[in-house]
């Protein structure tokens, strides 16, 4: 299965974890080389107005300021999708019940793997996240 199609299935687990109040964090990782964009993080914002995420782009260069934006999950999906394979090859979803990893191999095939949960509690986003 093409990694793009598998990422759509993976994203269903992200949405489900948010709807059920289990979403703790999402991180993009594993790059080839050392691009200036070091990490992409999503932290939850649960509020009376619904669920949003704080998207944080963290850069290697001290000359480039980190960027934070509050987004809906649909907006976050489009942003994360744009970074798949350029430069990130894995996405790690942390929930209170399981961790789910999406990986793209060297041949461009995607895979999804589940692990025991890393987080027992959810820490909502704030200006000092990460």
Q: Could you give the CA distance from residue 98 to residue 116 in angstroms, rounded to a whole number? A: 5
In a domain? residue 122? no
Q: Could you give the CA distance from residue 102 to residue 7 in angstroms, rounded to a whole number? A: 7
Say what percent of the chain tops pLDDT 90. 67
Please report the pLDDT score of residue 119 as a whole number: 82
Structure letter (DSSP) for residue 63? T
Q: What is the mean pLDDT of residues 31-50?
A: 88
**The model's pTM:** 0.87
Q: Report which of residues 33 and 35 the model is more confident about.
A: 35
Domain range for residue 41? 3-115
In a domain? residue 121? no
Q: Using 50, 70 and 90 to split pLDDT, how confident is the model at 105? A: very high
In a domain? residue 26? yes
Q: What is the mean pLDDT of residues 83-106?
A: 94
Q: Could you give the CA distance from residue 128 to residue 52 in angstroms, rounded to a whole number? A: 17
In this model, does residue 36 exceed pLDDT 90?
A: no
In a domain? residue 32? yes
In this model, does residue 128 exceed pLDDT 50?
A: no
Number of domains composing the chain: 1
């Amino acid at each position: 299965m093409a990694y793009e199609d598998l990422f759509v299935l993976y994203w269903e687990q992200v949405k489900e974890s948010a709807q059920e109040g289990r979403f703790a964090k999402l991180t993009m990782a594993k790059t080839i080389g050392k691009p200036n964009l070091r990490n992409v993080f999503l932290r939850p914002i649960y509020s009376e107005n619904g669920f949003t995420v704080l998207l944080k782009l963290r850069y290697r260069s001290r000359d480039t300021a980190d960027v934070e934006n509050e987004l809906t999950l649909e907006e976050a999906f489009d942003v994360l999708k744009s970074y798949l394979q350029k430069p990130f090859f894995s996405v790690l979803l942390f929930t209170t019940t399981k961790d789910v990893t999406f990986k793209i191999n060297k041949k461009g095939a995607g895979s999804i793997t589940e692990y025991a949960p890393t987080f027992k509690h959810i820490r909502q986003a704030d200006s000092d996240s990460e």
